[in-house]
Amino acid sequence: MLKGKHIILGITGSIAAYKAAYLLRLLIKQGAEVQVVITPSGKEFITPVTLSSLSGKPVISEFFTANTGEWHSHVDLGLWADALLIAPATASTIGKMAHGIADNMLVTTYLSCKAPVFIAPAMDLDMYAHASTQHNLDLLRSYGNRIIEPATGELASHLTGKGRMEEPEKIVEILDRFFETAQPLRGKRVLITAGPTYEKIDPVRFIGNYSSGKMGFALAEACAEAGAEVVLVAGPVSVKEKHTAIHRVDVESAVEMYNAVLAEYDRTDVAIMCAAVADYAPETVSDVKLKRTGEERVLRLKPNPDIAAELGRRKRAGQCLVGFALETNDEEANARLKMEKKNLDFIVLNSLRDAGAGFRCDTNKVTVIAREGSEVEIPCKPKTEVAADIVNMVAGYFANKD
């Protein structure tokens, strides 16, 4: 699976840096193209000459090559990579990565990198167990990075405990398995809408709904995990995206969401319309706060654009369009009708009658109906897991088309 893959091997200042030479050799043997980026203290432990001889490429350490003045673009490097592997990763580099302290070529490359990141820590047992290190590792996990847990054994300090960098063979196996299974949406661009929309009445009031955005954000994370580049158009929500492959665009009203979505749609392979878009907006928006008059008041509403239906009209061959339907009665018939009307490839049906499904909860229970006929019931489980199931179905759709 590693044949032809572009891998950045980041090496930092740990005694385990000597194992990086063997790791590099194994990656090259598997057919990977490897660019080594080493930190200044990494060079104290292993000479770049060894590494460039093994990789067949000059080792990058500084932002500039001293004698030629050539600039090394961390941005280009980050885009070139299919994976960034940092092995060994010291507590210091882990801390810098967790907090965006970009004072060397490796951390700047990390911050620019769109590819999956694997981190193999190596340090003394007490450093590894320290709350600060563990907190930083948790932060890196929350960014979608993968930590290759260190092994337990004798350490450079002659103490025994957890902190030894995982063996190179094992690291290569982890990468290999990752490329085999984990990225069915690699190279795809996914557009997702999430959350509610707010339709202004006056400067302090709006028409909204109870959507929390959790399902849409879970889908965005699952798509990014599956290797996609994600544009997430979000209504007003308090959830936050974590994965670095998610580009978030914040909007408030249905019209803003419509414009943001249409600006992206042409470049999109998959569009997942998960937002609870208001179907109507006040016909006029007052510039000043409306005062209580004691009289009855009538709010005239005008229809909002139907974003999913517009995408259905514009859909071209090769694009996959997924909609959601939240129904309270005649669920399946209504959902199928929506799928037809909006020219969707899949519709994800939520029923408000199901416990643990729909707005504001962390779980969902849905039925995914495919235009091509299949119908899959996903039992009540965390929205993150429901999202992973939906993403697998979308990936399957592309696999069948290819």
User: Closest distance between ligand CTP and the C-beta of residue 336, in Å?
Assistant: 12
User: Closest distance between ligand CTP and the C-beta of residue 320, in Å?
Assistant: 13
Mask of contacts with ligand CTP, 142-161, x by CB under 6 A? --------------------
Mask of contacts with ligand CTP, 252-291, x by CB under 6 A? --x------------------x-x-x-x------------
Would you count residue 338 as binding ligand CTP (CB under 6 A)? yes
Alpha helices in 30-130 (DSSP H): 42-45, 48-55, 74-80, 91-99, 105-112, 125-129
Mask of contacts with ligand CTP, 165-204, x by CB under 6 A? ----------------------------x-----------
Q: 398 to each of 33, 373, 374, how far by Cα in Å?
A: 27, 16, 15
Write out the E strands in 184-278.
189-194, 199-202, 205-207, 229-234, 246-250, 270-273
Would you count residue 386 as binding ligand CTP (CB under 6 A)? no
Q: Which stretch binds ligand CTP (CB under 6 A): 38-46, 213-221, 283-291, 300-308?
A: 300-308
392 flagged as catalytic: no
To the nearest 5 percent, what fractions of the chain are helix, strand and coil?
35, 25, 40
Q: Which residue has the tokens 């299974």?
A: 181
Quote the tokens at residue 24. 């590099």
CB 324 within 8 A of CB 273: yes
Q: Which is nearer to ligand CTP, 54 or 194 (CB)?
A: 194
Q: Which is nearer to ligand CTP, 116 or 216 (CB)?
A: 216
Q: 340 to each of 271, 322, 366, how far by Cα in Å?
A: 16, 12, 19
Q: Which is nearer to ligand CTP, 50 or 334 (CB)?
A: 334
C-alpha–C-alpha distance, residues 149 and 161, integer Å: 13
C-alpha–C-alpha distance, residues 402 and 75, integer Å: 31
Q: Which stretch binds ligand CTP (CB under 6 A): 46-54, 96-104, 159-167, 305-313?
A: 305-313
Q: Which of 145, 209, 304, 350 is catalytic?
A: 209
User: Closest distance between ligand CTP and the C-beta of residue 175, in Å?
Assistant: 37
- Residues in Cβ contact with 297 at an 8 Å cutoff, skipping those fewer than 6 apart: 290
Quote the tokens at residue 363. 């779980």
Would you count residue 307 as binding ligand CTP (CB under 6 A)? yes
Q: What residues numbered 22-61 form the site for ligand CTP, per CB under 6 A? A: none
Q: 56 to each of 23, 232, 285, how far by Cα in Å?
A: 14, 40, 65
Question: By CB under 6 A, how many residues form the interface with ligand CTP?
Answer: 15
Would you count residue 350 as binding ligand CTP (CB under 6 A)? no
User: Closest distance between ligand CTP and the C-beta of residue 352, in Å?
Assistant: 11
C-alpha–C-alpha distance, residues 305 and 395, integer Å: 29
> Which listed residue (117, 191, 260, 308) binds ligand CTP by CB under 6 A?
308
**195 Rama class: left (phi>0) / alpha (psi -120 to 50) / beta:** left
Would you count residue 346 as binding ligand CTP (CB under 6 A)? no
In angstroms, the first-to-last Cα distance of the chain is 19
Q: Which is nearer to ligand CTP, 296 or 330 (CB)?
A: 330
> Which residues are annotated as catalytic?
209
What residue ranges bind ligand CTP (CB under 6 A)? 193, 254, 273, 275, 277, 279, 304, 306-308, 323-326, 338
